[in-house]
Amino acid sequence: MTEPESEWTGNYFNYFTEIEEHFQRVRGTSLFLLSPLDWALIETWKNSEVPLQAVLRGIELAFEKWRSRKSKIRMINSLAYCAQAVLEEAQRMAGVAQPASGRPAAAPFELEELRQYLETNARLLRDAGLEDVAGSLGRLTQDVEQHYQDLEQLEQRLGALEEKMIATLRVQQTEDQLFDARRALDIELRPYRNKMTAEQLTMLEKQYFERRLLEQANLPRLSLFYLR
């Protein structure tokens, strides 16, 4: 079901930051930095349309369960520990209607910030030899005033361009790079595999590999969320 346009902007841009801050707060360590695996997991939840409240409540429940244990062998160092609790909370909330606020959400950035963001990313892509994607970003920049009026549609366009960019990078990846990425993911995921469904693991692996590809190529994410 499509979210009302008046709520999309606020909910979308709050999703990542609220999860990060809530995890830090519940963990009791405000300076704790999320890992690439954690960010990939948040993207998986977002793309699966897991409600923000389900994620926040799942994190709380996971920590409550951990703190109730007589033996605490290790501190919770990853959002992946909370994956099962988040899934259960999302299932519990399924079918519960979320009331619309009816209040329009203002864009979290100015028009000129958006223009600069698109121009900068186009330049980085052009420097990396991805002329096709860079050209598409350039055309979006030319019509930035129009796109600023419909950020949801702009985000969809940027998502399509990001998929094209990642597909190009994937073709260029060597066997050794792919092996190293799979080995790193397996090491990080090993303690948490039994807390996720096969579908969750498949989506998480996809997000993780995509993030790693972009980091290795020193290229940006194109999503508007990263305009901050």
For the stretch 157-214, pLDDT in tens is 998 999 999 999 988 888 898 898 889 888 888 877 777 778 878 888 888 888 888 8
- The distance from CA 171 to its chain's CA centroid, rounded to whole angstroms, is 23
Q: Is residue 186 part of a domain?
A: yes
User: Are residues 130 and 45 part of one domain?
Assistant: no
Q: Are residues 117 and 73 in the same domain?
A: no
What is the structure's pLDDT at 66?
Answer: 85
Domain of residue 219 covers 111-226
> Stretch 72-81: mean pLDDT, rounded?
77
**DSSP sequence for 100-157:** P--PPPPPSS-HHHHHHHHHHHHHHHHHTT-HHHHHHHHHHHHTHHHHHT-HHHHHHH
Q: What is the pTM of this model?
A: 0.66
The larger pLDDT score, comparing residue 203 to residue 32, is at: 203
**Cα–Cα distance measured from residue 60 to residue 52, given in angstroms and rounded to the nearest whole number:** 13
Q: Is the pLDDT of residue 30 over 60?
A: yes
d(CA 21, CA 31): 10
- Tell whether 16 and 71 lie within a shared domain: yes
Higher local confidence (pLDDT), 34 or 137: 137
Percent of the chain scoring above 70 in pLDDT: 86
* pLDDT > 70? residue 38: yes
Residue 205 lies in a domain: yes
- Give the end of a domain, one of 66, 93, 120: 93
Give the model's pLDDT for residue 59: 93
Listed in sequence order, the residues at least 6 apart from 93 whose beta carbon sits closer than 8 Å to its beta carbon are 51, 53, 54
Question: Do 118 and 222 reside in the same domain of the chain?
Answer: yes
Q: How far apart are CA 80 and CA 36, in angstroms?
A: 11
Which residues lie closer than 8 Å to 195 by C-beta, 6 or more apart? 80, 81, 83, 84
Give domain status of residue 173, yes or no: yes
Contact 23, 59 (CB under 8 A): yes
Taking residues 88-110, report their average pLDDT.
64
| Confidence (pLDDT) at 75 | 76
Please list the alpha-helical segments (H only) found in the chain.
5-27, 36-47, 52-67, 83-93, 111-127, 131-142, 144-148, 151-172, 175-189, 198-217
How would residue 103 be classed by pLDDT, with cut points 50, 70 and 90? very low
Q: What is the pLDDT of residue 71?
A: 67
- Of 111, 166, 158, 107, the closest CA to residue 136 belongs to 158
Tokens at 31, concatenated: 């300076």
Task: Tell me how many domains the chain contains.
Answer: 2
Quick check: is 207 in a domain? yes
| 119 lies in the same domain as 79 | no
Residue 68, helix vs strand vs coil:
coil
Q: Are 41 and 204 in contact (CB under 8 A)?
A: yes
Do 125 and 190 fall into the same domain? Answer: yes
